[in-house]
Structure 1
Amino acid sequence: MAILVHRYDSPDRFVAGTVGLPGERTFFLQAREGNRITSVVVEKQQVSVLAEHLDKVLDEVLRRSGPSARVPPAHDKPNDTDPLDAPITEEFRVGTMTIAWDAEIHRIVIELFSNVDSDLTDDEDEADDDLGLSAAAAAALEGSDEVNADEVFVVKITPGYARDFVARAQALVAAGRPPCPFCLQPLDPAGHICPRANGYRRPLFGA
């Protein structure tokens, strides 16, 4: 089966971003190179998992290679805080994600697959013992022959850019709906059915 590849070997930008209000946000991963833009839809949890595994890969590369790896330390404040580039056109929804370190070009390689039919999983209990990655990420280091998809979004980024992606992604995930002060569950834009209020809807703002 032919697969459509959206490839960015030297993107000008690769970020996670959202469209919509808190509680109704759609999450995107987006790359831009020149005038070309590719945007794919992901779940909030996928953004969090991708950021977590990117940090793990970078930390492992730094541990193995030392200063020669030119991997910067993790940081909390992203340099890129701008919104997603327009137009935002959904190419596909992401199923499986894989991560690999390409030592020849000194870059992280991220592969995002659509319509995946695979046994790969992000279960932490099935992590590769050597690298501490999910099974999906570990499989990427050995090749992605097990993954079948209609489309794939391939992005190659430097360690420094990967660290900034992580910082932005983590801030994005944390900037969701505020918690209810009574039950600590996320508040919906129209209000909140608080279990500590016997199931009654508690308004966002008092009268």
Structure 2
Amino acid sequence: MPTIVHEFDWPDRVVVGTVGRPGSRTFYLQARAGTRTSSVALEKEQSAVLAEMIDRLLDELTVKNDQLSIPSEAPAELLDDEPLDQPVEEDFRTGTMRLAWDPRTLQMVIEAYPVEEDPPDDDDAETADIGIGEDEAEPSEMLLVRIPVGTARAFAQRTRRVVEAGRPTCSDCGLPMDEDGHECPTDDGEQAP
């Protein structure tokens, strides 16, 4: 069966955002071009790692190639603090992600694959996998987004803010606190009375 590819080259918008209240938020990677939108669900940790890997890859490219003009900070005109486009209709839940640099187009490439499916092998680009995949079969679906370096910096900055906007953490144990209170775990891992 052929892979359904939700492909966005030079999208109008690409963001990570959430639906729900802190503590029960669902994270989405959403891309839009014109009237076409695609949203794939992510784990909070996948979102955080994606932002970190984008910044790391851009920093490495800056060091390796002084001919590239890569901003060290997100350009103000590219910052996007708007909520996700509505309605949010999940195309799939992300299992594995791949981040790559395409030297031909000078774009960051983000690929997302459904849970339990691995991306096909591709030796043409520098890549990093984010997530877990166990199956070597051809994926049934994927999200493919190509973005320029300034947009990639702005994407990473927004994603970090979205991840950090969750529940406050306890100053004693560092775990997230719920609205109705929090009990720090004891040394044996149990909740304190």
TM-score, scaled to structure 1:
0.78
Match status 1:199 vs 2:192: yes
CA distance 1:90–1:110, shift in 2 (3 Å): same
Q: Which residue of 2 aligns with 1:72?
A: 71
Q: In the TM superposition, what are the counterparts of 1:89-104 in structure 2 within 5 Å?
A: 89-104=89-104
Distance in 2 of aligned mates of 1:179 and 1:76: 30
Rounded to whole Å, the distance in 1 between the matches of 2:191 and 2:80 is: 43
Asked if the contact 1:52/1:166 (under 8 Å) is kept, the reply is: yes
Tell me: CA distance 1:181–1:53, structure 2 relative to 1, closer, same or farther (3 Å): closer
* Residue in 1 that maps onto 2:165: 175
Q: Distance in 2 between matches of 1:158 and 1:50?
A: 16
Deviations 1:15-50 (A, max 9, x none): 000111111111000001111111010000000111
Query: Which residue identity lines up with residue 93 of structure 1 in the other structure?
Result: R
Counterpart of 2:5? 5
2:146 counterpart letter in structure 1: K
**1:27 equivalent in structure 2:** 27
Q: Distance in 2 between matches of 1:2 and 1:14?
A: 25
Tell me what 2:154 maps to: 164
- Give the corresponding residue for 1:14: 14
SS at match of 1:62: helix
Q: Residue 113 of structure 2 contacts residue 119 of structure 2 at CA under 8 Å; is this kept in 1? A: no
Q: Which runs of 5+ in 1 are unaligned?
A: 121-130, 138-145, 201-207
Instruction: Provide the residue aligned with 1:57 in structure 2.
Output: 57
- Quote how far apart the aligned CAs of 1:188 are: 1.7
Aligned mates of 1:84, 1:76 — CA distance in 2: 20
Match of 1:185, SS state, is: coil
Residues 76/177 of structure 1: CA separation in 2 closer, same or farther (3 Å cut): farther
- Separation (CA, whole Å) in 1 of partners of 2:191 and 2:141: 47
Counterpart secondary structure, 2:65: helix
Alignment match, 1:188:
178
SS of residue matched to 1:172: helix
Distance in 1 between residues matched to 2:137 and 2:74, nearest whole Å? 33
Higher strand share: 2
Percentage of pairs with the same residue: 42
In terms of fraction of residues, the more helix-rich structure is 1
Structural mapping, 1:39-58, within 5 Å: 39-58=39-58
Query: Which consecutive residues of structure 2, in runs of 5 or more, have no partner in the other structure?
Result: 121-125, 131-135
| Separation (CA, whole Å) in 2 of partners of 1:98 and 1:70 | 23
Does structure 1 conserve the Cα–Cα contact (< 8 Å) formed by 2:111 and 2:142?
A: yes
